[in-house]
């Protein structure tokens, strides 16, 4: 990972960025940041494409036990589709709308890395600094660097799998990031720092603590200064740990989690309402709140390097997400690389979230399912299925269908989703 020397900032946004911002969120990206992406055609996606997308969403919702979903698909050469689906819960028939906010789970990770890269460029820290320089009193961190925490190469373990039952039973408890991280630190190192990749939520908590110590600012303030304000992400923030509501001034997607019922099968008809939850359970790993428009805009910024300092090659050393992973499935710089897509996916109690963008074609997909029982995998495969469908959307007049660069098909993703299902999937109605 190369360190750069200054940030890409301009006084006026180019027409491509303006068109994209209008299509993604209905409001302009602030003038100081340019997203170098293809201009978005200002029309809805063709009806046939939308029908395929809708069928994919309905199938994945059933598999995940989600009563509701919000989806955004932007194909610059063809059109866009942003919609809410279903209801707030199986027992609440309030319809889901596209403007609802939700906990964005691991979308937090690349944003925290954005802050790291920016303050490193300013000379406040170095990517090669030891974590111990900023998080004192934690043993065995002298050989772990800030950059390794962002890249997922620290070898440190994770905490969420051990603690989720406590979050579900006591959602308002405010957790100290050091306490949460200690559960990951207490596990054996998976490898020597810098020699492999392994998912580590504890690593991102430590990175958040280090950034706060280095700047004497809260992580919430840092994200606003370095990420959300420059990009105009007005619906995106990191709430205080004591704030259990998703948003006080905007509609909220209810967050659900299906628990085991009699016989061990998940209760798909009466999920636990876990909308009210302290964001301290996620903090620098998965604490951010957002909406689907902001996620689409942020993913295009991430994929194109809009916030990266000049000279930074953020994805220059990608590593396999797991041993034996396909060559097209890697991770680096706080993000996951899947074929031609750059993105992230994961879950936090109540929500499963996935968002991706192709830096060349501009194809962007963002999804949230309002049941976290399947973790983030169903959301990830749904986003990939939607990307495969949208990649073939017919071009508008004067446009050209770009090369997709996706090493999977929509059918392959749908089959995986069916295998991951934790709730019954209704049989498709026969075509008339």
- At 427 the pLDDT is 78
C-alpha distance from residue 39 to each of 36, 123, 229, 301, 383 (Å): 9, 35, 22, 14, 22
Across the chain, what does the average pLDDT equal? 92
Strand segments, DSSP code E, in 321-410 are: 329-332, 335-338, 341-348, 351-357, 364-369
Residue of 139, 152, 148, 132 whose CA lies nearest to 200:
152
Q: What is the pLDDT of residues 369-416, one digit of tens each?
A: 999 999 999 999 999 999 999 999 999 999 999 998 899 999 999 999
- Whole-prediction pTM value? 0.91
- At 128 the pLDDT is 98
Helix (H) or strand (E) holding 64: helix 47-64
Query: Residue 8 — pLDDT band, cuts 50, 70, 90?
Result: very low
- At 140 the pLDDT is 81
Indicate whether 143 pLDDT > 90: yes
Q: What is the pLDDT of residues 227-252, one digit of tens each?
A: 999 999 999 999 998 899 999 899 99
Angle value at C-alpha 346, between 262 and 388, nearest 5 degrees: 105
Radius of gyration of the chain (CA): 20
Cβ atoms of 367 and 386 within 8 Å: the answer is yes
Indicate whether 4 pLDDT > 80: no
Pick the residue with more confidence: 261 or 22? 261
Q: Residue 2: how many CB atoms within 10 A of its CB? A: 11
Q: What is the pLDDT of residues 309-326, one digit of tens each?
A: 999 999 999 999 999 999
- At 263 the pLDDT is 84
What's the DSSP call for residue 51? H
- Considering only 85-99, 193-207, 260-274, 380-394, which range has the smallest mean pLDDT? 260-274
Query: Residue 425 — pLDDT band, cuts 50, 70, 90?
Result: very high
Distance CA 402, CA 215 (A): 43
For the chain, give the percent of residues with pLDDT over 70.
92
């Amino acid at each position: 990972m190369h360190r750069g020397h200054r940030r890409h900032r301009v006084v006026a946004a180019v027409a491509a960025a303006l068109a994209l911002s209008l299509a993604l969120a209905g409001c302009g990206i602030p003038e100081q940041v340019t997203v170098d992406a293809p201009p978005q055609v200002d029309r809805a996606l063709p009806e046939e494409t939308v029908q395929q997308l809708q069928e994919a969403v309905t199938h994945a919702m059933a598999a995940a036990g989600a009563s509701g979903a919000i989806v955004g698909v932007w194909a610059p050469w063809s059109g866009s589709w942003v919609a809410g689906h279903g209801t707030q819960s199986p027992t609440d028939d309030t319809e889901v709308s596209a403007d609802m906010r939700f906990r964005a789970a691991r979308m937090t990770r690349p944003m925290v890395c954005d802050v790291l890269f920016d303050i490193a460029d300013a000379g406040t820290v170095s990517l090669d600094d030891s974590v111990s320089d900023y998080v004192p009193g934690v043993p065995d961190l002298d050989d772990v660097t800030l950059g390794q925490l962002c890249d997922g190469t620290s070898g440190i373990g994770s905490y969420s799998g051990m603690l989720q039952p406590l979050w579900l039973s006591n959602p308002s408890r405010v957790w100290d990031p050091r306490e949460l991280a200690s559960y990951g630190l207490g596990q054996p190192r998976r490898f020597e720092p810098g020699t492999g990749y392994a998912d580590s939520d504890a690593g991102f908590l430590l990175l958040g603590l280090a950034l706060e110590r280095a700047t004497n600012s809260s992580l919430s303030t840092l994200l606003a200064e370095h990420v959300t304000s420059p990009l105009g992400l007005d619906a995106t923030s990191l709430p205080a740990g004591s704030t259990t509501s998703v948003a006080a001034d905007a509609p909220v997607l209810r967050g659900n989690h299906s628990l085991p019922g009699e016989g061990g099968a998940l209760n798909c008809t009466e999920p636990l309402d876990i909308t009210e939850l302290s964001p301290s359970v996620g903090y620098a790993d998965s604490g951010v709140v957002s909406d689907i428009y902001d996620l689409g805009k942020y993913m295009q910024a991430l994929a194109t390097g809009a916030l990266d300092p000049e000279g930074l090659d953020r994805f220059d050393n990608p590593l396999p997400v797991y041993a034996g992973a396909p060559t097209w499935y890697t991770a680096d710089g706080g993000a996951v690389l899947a074929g031609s897509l750059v993105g992230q996916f994961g879950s936090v109690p109540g929500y499963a979230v996935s968002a991706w963008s192709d830096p060349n074609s501009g194809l962007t997909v963002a999804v949230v399912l309002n049941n976290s029982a399947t973790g983030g995998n169903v959301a990830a495969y749904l986003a990939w299925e939607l990307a495969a469908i949208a990649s073939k959307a017919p071009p508008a007049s004067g446009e050209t269908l770009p090369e997709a660069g996706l090493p999977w098909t929509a059918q392959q993703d749908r089959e995986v989703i069916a295998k991951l299902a934790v709730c019954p999937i209704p049989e498709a109605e026969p075509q008339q």
